[in-house]
Amino acid sequence: MKVPDVSTLLQVVPWLVCFFYAFSFVNYFAYFKKKEQQIANRTRTWLISGVGVHTLYIVLLSIYTGHLPVGSTFLVLTTCAWFFVLVYLALELSLGEMTMGVFFLPVILVLQVISNLFINLERPLAPVLNEIFFEVHVALMICAYSAFTISFITSVMYILLSREMQSKELGIFFERLPSLEFFDKLSNQAVNIGLGLVSVGIVLGVYMGLNVWEGKWVLDPKLVAVVISWAIYAFHVLTRTTIGWQGRRAAIVSVVGFNWLLFSFLIVTTFFSKVHNFQ
């Protein structure tokens, strides 16, 4: 039997990843509605299989491109999704709380589908990207964005549960979700970690930019966008710790921050074809 070469596999495997995640999502949804142990076991099998296939995909990409798959926007996207699902799985296993999956999986799935649609593996890599600093920079950013995503999702869940409790019409969120305190803690910790990582990431990026771009970096839209996100999350930490913007207000700030992240990411990658994209 002829072993299919890496490039054919790279056509199939990413969609297989989507397939697994889609099935996990369906199962998480069923679990959320019925909360039966049987579904829970099945769901975890699907998700772990998905993670397995995704890991294979990341390995294949690394073999094909010759380095970690962080060289272009859409490569970063799938790596981000991969890292994110790992973090989620670790969370689920350590907390024993599966109801969050129904909120996490759609985000992961969307990231993966976008990556699959637009990925272009044939593009040559800019020589600057072969530096170790660059890979550290991107890795930090991916971790930070994962943390922000977790904060976003837990904040959404906080808002949903809190609204249900304020309205006094207790429904499925009250019945299924863990406590407000749980979401609050998780979201705040994620923002704290994310903010720390993104700060180091920006400093590293600026340092490299100084060397490579020789002064042009100040007006780089991606940098501007990320500094604004940094400011939003810093605002989150500040208001929360000083003037008591706990709970719902903090959750709203986190949601705004994440929306800005997504929005700026789309705007920057579609309309500004600048040096930061290395094209």
Partner 1 sequence: MPLFAFGVREDLRGSLAGKGTSSIAEVAGHWQTEECFIYSGTAGFSCFVVGGDSHQMLESFVETLAKQTRTRAASFKKTCFFEEGATAVELFLRILAGLDANLQVRGGPETFRGDFEAARQKGQTGPVLNKLYQRGLWLTEKIRIDLKVGRSTANPEAVVCDLAEKIFGNLREHRALIACGGLAGEPFDAKLTEKNIGQILYLGDNGGPSTPRANERNKTVAASQLSSILPTVDLVLLLDGAAQEKLASVRMAQVMSKRKNAPQLWVSLLENGEADTIPDLSKFYNVYFYQKRDLDKIVLSNLKDHEKTSGAIKRLLEKEVEDFFAWVNTGEQHRFGSIVGRSEAMQKVFDLIARISQTDISILIDGESGTGKELVAKAIHDHSARASNPFVVVNCGAIPETLLESELFGHVKGAFTGAANNKIGLIKAANHGTIFLDEIGETSQATQVKLLRFLQEGEVKPVGSNETERLDVRVLTATNRDLELMVDEGHFRQDLYYRLNVIQLTLPPLRSRKEDVAPLTTYFLNKYAALTHKTVLGVDESAQRLLENYDWPGNIRELENAIERAVALSSARFLNASDFPPKVCATNSLPRNDFSADDLSLKEIEKDYIAAMLKKHEWNYELVTQILGIGRTTLWRKMKEYNISS
Positions touching partner 1 (CB under 8 A) are 161, 165-166, 168, 170, 174, 178-182, 243-249
Q: How far is the CB of 180 from partner 1 (least distance, A)?
A: 5
Q: How far is the CB of 156 from partner 1 (least distance, A)?
A: 17
**Is 103:172 a contact under the CB 8 Å cutoff?**
no
C-alpha torsion sign, points 74, 155, 86, 227: positive
Q: How far is the CB of 246 from partner 1 (least distance, A)?
A: 5
- 66 sits in the region (left: phi over 0; alpha: psi -120 to 50; else beta) called left
**Is 177:101 a contact under the CB 8 Å cutoff?**
no
CA dist., res. 57 & res. 50, Å (int): 10
Q: How far is the CB of 262 from partner 1 (least distance, A)?
A: 28
Measured CA to CA in angstroms, residue 267 lies from 143, 216, 225 at distances of 21, 20, 10
CA dist., res. 248 & res. 194, Å (int): 19
Q: Which is nearer to partner 1, 182 or 278 (CB)?
A: 182
Q: What are phi and psi of 94, to 5 degrees?
A: -80, -30
Question: Which is nearest to 103 in space by CA: 156, 44, 49?
Answer: 156
Q: Which is nearer to partner 1, 7 or 241 (CB)?
A: 241
Q: How far is the CB of 247 from partner 1 (least distance, A)?
A: 5
Q: Which is nearer to partner 1, 2 or 168 (CB)?
A: 168
C-alpha torsion sign, points 33, 37, 39, 45: positive
Q: How far is the CB of 214 from partner 1 (least distance, A)?
A: 47
Q: Which is nearer to partner 1, 131 or 181 (CB)?
A: 181
Q: Which is nearer to partner 1, 130 or 241 (CB)?
A: 241
Q: Which is nearer to partner 1, 159 or 261 (CB)?
A: 159
